Amino acid sequence: LVRTSREAIPQQGITFLLIDMTTPGVEVKPILMLSGEHIQNDVFFTNVRVPKANVVGRVGEGWTVAKYLMQFERGGSAAAPGLGVRLERLAEIARTPGDDGRRLIDEPGYAARLAQAGIDVAALEAIELRVMSRLSNGEAPGAESSLMKTVSTELSQRLTELSVEAAGVYAAPWQPHGGALGGPTPGFTPPADGFLAGPPHAWIAAPKYFNDRAGSIYAGTNEIQRNIMAKAVLGL
């Protein structure tokens, strides 16, 4: 999205432009996540020239194109099945006795949060199926995409919190060699013997927790999504 003119309404005067990453002046620098992994990048543009033929839609109307695409990023796929699998794994871990013989599932507070997450995943799945039905008929997700994005990312974050709690003290060691969440970990040399502390479910509990903090930011912050729902659905 590039600014091509100044208008009274800031959403106007923006153009959607495709840029070849091999174009002179395009520079990519890595961003290291809180987990230490290289998953995303900064992209810098210095005197980059792009032909007008690369414009998508009309000049000055790029925000309209972007909003349409964002509907599909936020609500064009289903998150509930993956969340459901993670929830099942958590429930299995909670039913397994720990080193002290106690089970997390027997703790009322933890069991209640696990059950509430299950209810919320089921509700999200119902909404996603409704949207998927519309998509199969060639329709756009609409304002419900904001609901899907908000609920799915906040649910995912809640599951990472339950995972860290289930891992207990074993969530503390930094051991990225236990599993790659999204990219390499620059500057980290795993132990020669490949030693990993704690049970397998604890190895990536903390890195997943840290990386998932970005979930409520990408594709438009959840605060923005609530503004969209308030305006487009509730008419506020």
pLDDT digits (tens, 9 = 90+) for 47-69: 999 999 999 999 999 999 998 88
Q: What is the CATH number of the domain that holds 46?
A: 2.40.110.10
- Torsion, Cα 138 142 146 148, to 10 degrees, reads -40
Q: Is residue 73 part of a domain?
A: no
Q: Tell me the pLDDT band of 76, cut-offs 50, 70 and 90.
A: confident
- Tokens, residue 208: 């997943």
Q: Which domain holds residue 182?
A: 78-232
Number of domains comprising the chain: 2
Answer yes or no: do 61 and 113 share one domain. no
The predicted model gives 157-180 an average pLDDT of: 92
- Among residues 68, 102, 121, which one ends one of the domains? 68
Q: How far apart are CA 170 and CA 178, in angstroms?
A: 12
Higher-pLDDT residue of 162, 191: 162
Q: Tell me the pLDDT band of 220, cut-offs 50, 70 and 90.
A: confident
Q: How far apart are CA 232 and CA 74, in angstroms?
A: 15
Distances in Å between the Cα of 61 and the Cα atoms of 4, 13, 48, 53, 143 are 10, 7, 21, 15, 20
Higher-pLDDT residue of 180, 229: 229
**Long-range CB contacts (< 8 A, 24+ apart) of 216-225?**
216/150, 216/153, 216/154, 216/157, 219/70, 219/73, 219/74, 219/149, 220/70, 220/74, 220/146, 220/149, 222/149, 222/150, 222/153, 222/154, 225/74, 225/146, 225/147, 225/149, 225/150
Q: How far apart are CA 185 and CA 197, in angstroms?
A: 18
Global pTM? 0.83
Is the pLDDT reported for residue 106 higher than 80? yes
pLDDT at 125: 95
Answer yes or no: do 146 and 205 share one domain. yes
Q: Classify the C-alpha dihedral 187-31-148-161 as positive or negative.
A: positive
Is the pLDDT reported for residue 190 higher than 90? no
Is the pLDDT reported for residue 183 higher than 80? no
pLDDT in tens, 20-42: 999 999 999 999 888 888 888 99
pLDDT at 69: 87
Answer yes or no: do 126 and 96 share one domain. yes
